Structure 1
Amino acid sequence: MSNKKALFFKACSLLPMAPLMALNKHSGLFIPIYHAITNERLIHLEHILPYGSKNSKQFENDLDLLLKNLNPVSYADLYACIRDGKPVPPKSFIITFDDGLRQTYENATDLMVKKGVPAIFFLNTGVLDNKALLHRYKASILLEFIKQQNNHNLEHKVEAILKLNGIMMPGYAAGIKAINYKNKQVFDILANEINYSFDDYLKKHKPYMSSEQVKDLKKKGFILGSHSTWHPEYWNIDINEQVNQTQSAMQYLKEHFNETNRTFSFPFTDIKTPVSFFDALKKEAPFELLFGSQKLKKDIIPNMIHRFDGDNNLSDMETYLKTLLVFQSLNKMRGQTIVNRSAN
């Protein structure tokens, strides 16, 4: 964290919570996003999550802080408010998890059941049961492997392979991070050339939940949602594939786990997603609630709700909530509290 940012966080931490909440009473829904709640190092996340992951104790502290200042709201009650055009009760929260990581099941679910905290688990159905790795996870794994070799010849070899595949970036790390869903085959080309096995990593570490664990989530009363099949960068694929990956993952959850609620969270970000996507999605099979990642903002799409980074371990949850409320107050003064979207 930069010195300037650290000073801002420190200043926000000194502000009282109640007046900030009162100033933002119309932004009364708080939805953190988590990826992994882990007590161990996760190489597949280490180089791609900018703020890291939280451990069990940090997550419990988050829940206690949220319960102290806010009120849990169930998915059913949240959907009923949005469907009926009614305001969500002030100071409400619900937890969300993206990607379907095993450590989240192991370290978060029982704690939430114990404390009576509702949650939605947004799953990438292509990788359930550790059938495959998401492409961004491959980036993190390869970066760590190359780093551990400490071999300049290997680094130069990787840079050469990247250039042969049209990825012109300064240095192997930037090149690997530049690979996206559309050219994800480059990860497998690289792994083959440097004798690295993603299959071995999957077998050893089992990053994702099993179907049995997902069934247990349902038994415990949690909601399952679509996070797409393969976690692509939506801005980088055409609208037909966007809709297909969104709908296919939800259909899988219905067929395999009897999930009757229909909800979706955007992989990566919803920024620059046009109205035409939402229209196409509604035409094929409507979703009840959609989730983006633009913090406390509202959206011109009526059933689109925004979330903030729960993974953010640069500060404690209380300080982070205060910074969000300060930013929201500033956005309110600037008239920037609503996400607008282009038609196409």
Structure 2
Amino acid sequence: MGIVKDTLFKVSNKKFLPIFNKQTIFPYYHIVRDNQVAHIENLYEFKNCSQFISDLNLLTKIYKPLIPKDVLENKISNNSFLLSFDDGLQEVYTIIYPILKEKNIKAIFFINPNFVDNNEGLYKHYISIIITYLKNNGFEKDTLDKISDKFSFTYNSVTEFKQKFINIKFTEREKVNDVLNFLNINIEDYLKTHKLYITKEQIQEMMNDGFYFGGHTMSHPYLDKLSHEEQKAEIINSIDWLKHNFDINYSLFAFPFSDKSISKKLLEELLEYDGNIKIFGNSGLKKDIDFRIIQRFSLENPNKQIDKTIVEENLYKYFNKVIGKYHIKRK
């Protein structure tokens, strides 16, 4: 539906925004910073601090900020918003947290316990680091050939190489470590120097200030590539890790990558695991099979104005109602 959404964004007008303020919205981001960084720059674009502050100013002008506790207690009022941030990157502590604290806006941060304290990292972030290294060395063909041979793909250009390398399967992530070694990239040193992810101490500090944390799976896999039991373990273990390490009694979770392939059976088991759990997807303004499953949309694209994005998401909601896809069907 990329063409449809692109078209709706073009016809969106910020003057329509007051029409869509009688609702609760759940925007999300990953990172906010003013310059590029190797482990992100080849994966996606993001907003700088000025753009993020501008987003917050507009959101608080149109909507009321929700407290995560109210969502857990089902006290969700109309004309409100709740921000969330995925992946537990260092910037949620160094940049996002101070800004939100100054503006008295609470949020939920979804983290992968395996990456907390920077002992290891997400393989996608490793891939981006590798691509930046290759770029800095002129994308030498002999090196590209050896890497593509390891993953059994062919390419006709550097652009095609990058696209295929970025999209390698989760099950082949160990080969990424082989590439790091082949290129003499010391990933342990990179993690120690750049501190990609937040620490337990930082999480505790943020919790003490009224911010909430949820699981995002242990290792950020593509869940549809795992068995049912593996999916369930990745999810519940990430929630339990937070409970055991920070003495909290609530359950929050957000799906990595996408929730589109998640089965009805898995969702029912998660809802049974904790009757008060809140589960977050990223399918936009849609209704799921249970009110405890909340759908979000991204405000991360720096090339899209927030007011037009909110209008676009609402127009897309009505489009989905017309074609019968507003209510998510789970198999």
Scaled by the length of structure 2, the TM-score of the pair is: 0.92
1:34 matches 2:29: yes
Give the Cα–Cα distance (whole angstroms) in 2 for the partners of residues 296 and 219 of structure 1: 31
Quick check: 1:158–1:172 contact (8 Å CA) kept in 2? no
From 254, 270, 294, the equivalent of 1:281 is 270
Residue in 1 aligned with 2:60? 67
What is the SS of the residue equivalent to 1:33? Answer: strand
From 179, 182, 195, the equivalent of 1:193 is 182
Query: 2:104 corresponds to which letter in structure 1?
Result: G
What is the SS of the residue equivalent to 2:39? Answer: helix
Structure 1 residues 80 and 285, CA gap change in structure 2 (3 angstroms): closer
Query: 1:17 corresponds to which letter in structure 2?
Result: L
What is the SS of the residue equivalent to 2:50? Answer: helix
Give the Cα–Cα distance (whole angstroms) in 2 for the partners of residues 243 and 168 of structure 1: 35
Residue in 1 aligned with 2:117? 129
Higher alpha-carbon deviation: 272-281 or 127-136: 272-281
Quick check: 1:20–1:326 contact (8 Å CA) kept in 2? no
Deviations 1:255-289 (A, max 9, x none): 21222211100011100111011133344455510
Could you list the runs of 5+ residues in structure 2 that have no partner in the other structure?
Answer: none
> RMSD of the alignment, in Å?
2.2
Quick check: 1:43–1:140 contact (8 Å CA) kept in 2? yes
Task: Please show how residues 243-282 of structure 1 align to structure 2 within 5 Å.
Answer: 243-282=232-271
Query: 2:252 corresponds to which letter in structure 1?
Result: T
Residue in 2 aligned with 1:77? 70
Across the two proteins, how many residue pairs are aligned to each other? 326
Give the Cα–Cα distance (whole angstroms) in 1 for the partners of residues 74 and 174 of structure 2: 43
Scaled by the length of structure 1, the TM-score of the pair is: 0.88
Quick check: 2:123–2:173 contact (8 Å CA) kept in 1? yes
Give the Cα–Cα distance (whole angstroms) in 1 for the partners of residues 91 and 212 of structure 2: 18
Structure 1 residues 261 and 5, CA gap change in structure 2 (3 angstroms): closer
Give the Cα–Cα distance (whole angstroms) in 1 for the partners of residues 259 and 120 of structure 2: 24
Deviations 1:49-95 (A, max 9, x none): 2xx1112111111111000111111122222227xxxxx32221101
Quick check: 1:263–1:287 contact (8 Å CA) kept in 2? no
What is the SS of the residue equivalent to 1:208? Answer: coil
Structure 1 residues 129 and 75, CA gap change in structure 2 (3 angstroms): same
Structure 1 residues 153 and 168, CA gap change in structure 2 (3 angstroms): closer
Residue in 2 aligned with 1:332? 321
Residue in 1 aligned with 2:227? 238
Quick check: 1:296–1:324 contact (8 Å CA) kept in 2? yes
Task: Please show how residues 1-344 of structure 1 align to structure 2 within 5 Å.
Answer: 8-21=8-21, 25=22, 28-49=23-44, 52-81=45-74, 88-150=76-138, 151-163=140-152, 167=153, 171-286=160-275, 288-342=277-331
Quick check: 1:34–1:311 contact (8 Å CA) kept in 2? yes
Query: 2:110 corresponds to which letter in structure 1?
Result: F
Q: Quote how far apart the aligned CAs of 1:302 are.
A: 2.8
Q: Quote how far apart the aligned CAs of 1:40 are.
A: 2.5
Could you list the runs of 5+ residues in structure 1 that have no partner in the other structure?
Answer: 83-87
